Amino acid sequence: MTEKTAKLTIGDESWDFPVKAGTLGPEVVDIGALYKNTDRFTFDPGYTSTASCESDITFIDGDKGVLLHRGYPIEQLAEHGDFIETCYLLLYGELPTKEQNEDFHSRITYHTMVHEQMNRFFTGFRRDAHPMAIMCGVVGALSAFYHDSTDISDPHQRMVASLRMIAKMPTIAAMAYKYHIGQPFVYPRNELDYASNFLHMCFSVPCEEYKVNPVLARAMDRIFILHADHEQNASTSTVRLAGSSGANPFACIAAGIACLWGPAHGGANEAALNMLAEIGTADRIPEFIDRAKDKDDPFRLMGFGHRVYKNYDPRAKIMQKTTHEVLSELGIKDDPMLEVAMELEKIALTDEYFIEKKLYPNIDFYSGITLKALGFPTNMFTVLFALARTVGWIAQWKEMIEDPKQKIGRPRQLYTGATQRDYIAVEDR
């Protein structure tokens, strides 16, 4: 079959570039030879039209609101699976057999403790430090403790580092929370499942038995599934770029955490809840909708809009259902924030501006209400996002490292600065 090509014509010159098709989604124009052949770069700040890599892990159809992990729809994984099984799927490409699942669950369980000396890291932070600041520091420091899994050329060390990251993130996240509220750290419990263990490490205290509510643990596990991976989002691209230089996986994940913290990305769940609190009551919604539409006002509706989804974020639907489940399990009736959120969604989805710009609720719109009901303070919301996204970062990092064509990422630029000029002595300026 003749190869499909794209023709670029500039003036009286033209060049052909190969067009490649994947299994799903848009074709790509391979412009790898553009600079060599035309002495020109492409220009795409924000990468709105740029595919940075080839990947088999996650597929998103933004127009149809579809999200597949290794081909499986997020709705089915969230309904029938659990987070650790989803981790296996993202890392190895197939759903595990019963034996593989049991083996993987136990390997994760026996990596949940952190080196005892890491406890001292926390005391270096002020108690009121934002938990995401603590996560950036402590996760980055993991490479100082686990030298035996930082050689990225060794498949065994890559696998051990991957398991360690997935297993230790809940422990570190719970330690960040406990340190922040001045309570003692709680060790992981091997008899508990991943989500129950995390809730136990966050909410139990030495003075009494803490029974994890299985309905809340299931909801927590589903929230982890919904946040696990999402194609080449900003933080995943950060992890890939950091990893492309050969940096160790712990340092790459720390870079991903730093990027996720931004309010335009993973920080939106914290910002969305703060926005709902600021709106306060449904009668103030029109004022905020007007501000979101005002070009001169930097305010945006947090938890709304998405670079890829121009339809409803499928995760937001499942998150909304989980919110109702958690609130009813906790006997929370008429949660004022949920009322404002549902009214805000209703108004926004019928407003011309939001329809024209295809702005729908994203995963961050309802997650904050659920996490607050589970007992987490707002500044822990992005920590939970980072905890869940660690498997996605690691799976994408692993795919990049194992790609024989992998090379260091090094974009170019359109230079618009001063042309060359000579130095002027200070007395002549």
Active site residues: 306, 364
133 versus 308: smaller Cβ distance to ligand SDX: 308
Regarding 302 and contact with ligand SDX (CB under 6 A), the answer is yes
Q: Closest distance between ligand SDX and the C-beta of residue 269, in Å?
A: 8
Q: Closest distance between ligand SDX and the C-beta of residue 419, in Å?
A: 32
Q: Closest distance between ligand SDX and the C-beta of residue 38, in Å?
A: 28
249 versus 266: smaller Cβ distance to ligand SDX: 266
Contact residue for ligand SDX among 304, 376, 381, 397 (CB under 6 A): 304
Regarding 127 and contact with ligand SDX (CB under 6 A), the answer is no
Regarding 307 and contact with ligand SDX (CB under 6 A), the answer is yes
Q: Closest distance between ligand SDX and the C-beta of residue 384, in Å?
A: 13
Q: Which stretch binds ligand SDX (CB under 6 A): 29-37, 126-134, 216-224, 355-363?
A: 355-363
Contact residue for ligand SDX among 96, 131, 249, 303 (CB under 6 A): 303
Regarding 264 and contact with ligand SDX (CB under 6 A), the answer is yes
Regarding 156 and contact with ligand SDX (CB under 6 A), the answer is no
Site string (282-301) toward ligand SDX, x via CB under 6 A: ----------x-------xx
Regarding 345 and contact with ligand SDX (CB under 6 A), the answer is no
Can you state the angle between helices 381-401 and 214-226, rounded to 10 degrees? 50
Contact residue for ligand SDX among 318, 364, 371, 388 (CB under 6 A): 364
Contact residue for ligand SDX among 306, 317, 372, 398 (CB under 6 A): 306
Contact residue for ligand SDX among 68, 268, 338, 395 (CB under 6 A): 268
3-state DSSP of the chain: CCCCEEEEEECCEEEEEEEECCCCCCCEECCCCHHHHHCCCCCCHHHCCCCCCCCCCEEEECCCCEEEECCEEHHHHHHHCCHHHHHHHHHHCCCCCHHHHHHHHHHHHCCCCCCHHHHHHHHCCCCCCCHHHHHHHHHHHHHHHCHHHCCCCCHHHHHHHHHHHHHHHHHHHHHHHHHHHCCCCCCCCCCCCHHHHHHHHHHCCCCCCCCCCHHHHHHHHHHHHHCCCCCCCHHHHHHHHHHHCCCCHHHHHHHHHHHHCCCCCCCHHHHHHHHHHHHCCHHHHHHHHHHHHCCCCCCCCCCECCCCCCCCCHHHHHHHHHHHHHHHHCCCCCCHHHHHHHHHHHHHHCCHHHHHCCCCECHHHHHHHHHHHHCCCHHHHHHHHHHHHHHHHHHHHHHHHCCCCCCCCCCCCCCCCCCCCCCCCHHHC
107 versus 321: smaller Cβ distance to ligand SDX: 321
Question: How many C-alpha atoms does 77 have within 13 Å on its Cβ side?
Answer: 32
Q: Closest distance between ligand SDX and the C-beta of residue 50, in Å?
A: 13
139 versus 268: smaller Cβ distance to ligand SDX: 268
Q: What are phi and psi of 61, to 5 degrees?
A: -110, 100
Regarding 4 and contact with ligand SDX (CB under 6 A), the answer is no
Q: Which stretch binds ligand SDX (CB under 6 A): 199-207, 244-252, 259-267, 409-417?
A: 259-267
Contact residue for ligand SDX among 149, 196, 248, 362 (CB under 6 A): 362
Which of 367, 396, 92, 19 shows the shortest CA–CA distance to 244?
396
Residues 6+ apart with CB under 8 A from 135: 172, 173, 176, 257, 383, 386
Q: Closest distance between ligand SDX and the C-beta of residue 196, in Å?
A: 24
Regarding 359 and contact with ligand SDX (CB under 6 A), the answer is yes
For the beta carbon of residue 19, count every other beta carbon within 10 angstroms.
13
Residue of closest CB approach to ligand SDX: 305
Regarding 317 and contact with ligand SDX (CB under 6 A), the answer is no
Token pair for 353: 């501006």
Judged by CB under 6 A, the number of residues near ligand SDX is: 21
Q: Which stretch binds ligand SDX (CB under 6 A): 9-17, 170-178, 260-268, 319-327?
A: 260-268
Q: Which stretch binds ligand SDX (CB under 6 A): 111-119, 258-266, 370-378, 397-405?
A: 258-266
Using CB under 6 A as the criterion, which residues of the chain lie in contact with ligand SDX when the complex forms?
A: 230, 233, 264-266, 268, 292, 300-308, 357, 359, 362-364
